[in-house]
Structure 1
Amino acid sequence: MTTQVTTTDLQAFTQNWLDWYRAQEERLADPHGFLAITGLHWLDDRPQRFPDAPGAWWTGTDGVTVALDDGEELLVDGAPVRGEHHFGVLPERGGVDAVWGDAVIEVAKRGGNDIVRPRHPDAPLRTAFTGTPAYAPHPRWALTGRYVAFDEPRPTTVGAAVEGLEHVYDAPGRIEFDLEGRHLSLTAFPGHGAGRLTVLFTDATSGVTTYAANRALTVEAPAADGTVVLDFNRATNLPCAYTDLATCPLPPVENRLPVAVEASQKIPRERGGA
Structure 2
Amino acid sequence: MTAGTVDLAQEWRAWHAEREDTLREPHGWLSLTGLHWLDGEPRAYQDLPGTWRASEGGAEITATAAHGVSVDGVAVDGTTRVEPVDGKPGVLVAVGDRRVEVIRREEHLALRVRDPEAATRQRFTGVPAFPVDERWVVTGRFEPWDAPRRIDVETVVDGLGFHPTAVGTVRFTVGGEEQELVALGEGSGDELRLHFRDGTSGTSTYGGGRILRLGAADADGSVRIDLNRTINLPCSFTAYATCPLPPAGNVVTVPVEAGEKTPV
2:258 to 250, 260, 263: 263
Give the match for residue 3 of structure 1.
Answer: none
| CA displacement, residues 138-162 of structure 1 (integer Å, 9 cap, x when unaligned) | 2211110000011222332111111
Determine whether 1:19 maps to 2:28. no
CA distance in 2, matches of 1:102, 1:241: 25
Determine whether 1:230 maps to 2:225. yes
Give the match for residue 206 of structure 2.
Answer: 211
Give the match for residue 171 of structure 1.
Answer: 166
CA distance in 2, matches of 1:162, 1:89: 19
| CA displacement, residues 116-139 of structure 1 (integer Å, 9 cap, x when unaligned) | 111111111111111111111122
Q: Structure 2: where are the runs of 5+ without partners?
A: none
> Displacement, 1:89?
5.5
Give the match for residue 51 of structure 2.
Answer: 56
> Displacement, 1:112?
3.3
1:187 to 157, 172, 182: 182
Within 5 Å, which residues of 2 pair with 1:233-248? Answer: 233-248=228-243
Structure-2-length-normalised TM-score:
0.94
Matched positions, count: 264
CA distance in 1, matches of 2:13, 2:197: 23
Structure-1-length-normalised TM-score:
0.90
CA distance 1:144–1:152, change in 2 (3 Å): same
CA distance 1:162–1:91, change in 2 (3 Å): closer
CA contact (8 A) 2:177 2:253 kept: no
> Once superposed, what is the RMSD of the aligned Cα atoms?
2.0
Whichever residue aligns with residue 153 of structure 2, its letter is V
Whichever residue aligns with residue 218 of structure 1, its letter is R
Give the match for residue 272 of structure 1.
Answer: none
CA distance in 2, matches of 1:31, 1:156: 33
1:40 to 35, 39, 42: 35
Determine whether 1:153 maps to 2:148. yes
CA distance in 2, matches of 1:238, 1:21: 15
> Displacement, 1:213?
1.2
2:151 is paired with a residue whose SS is strand
CA contact (8 A) 1:92 1:112 kept: no
Give the match for residue 101 of structure 1.
Answer: 96
Determine whether 1:114 maps to 2:114. no
Q: Between the two proteins, what is the percent identity of the paired residues?
A: 38
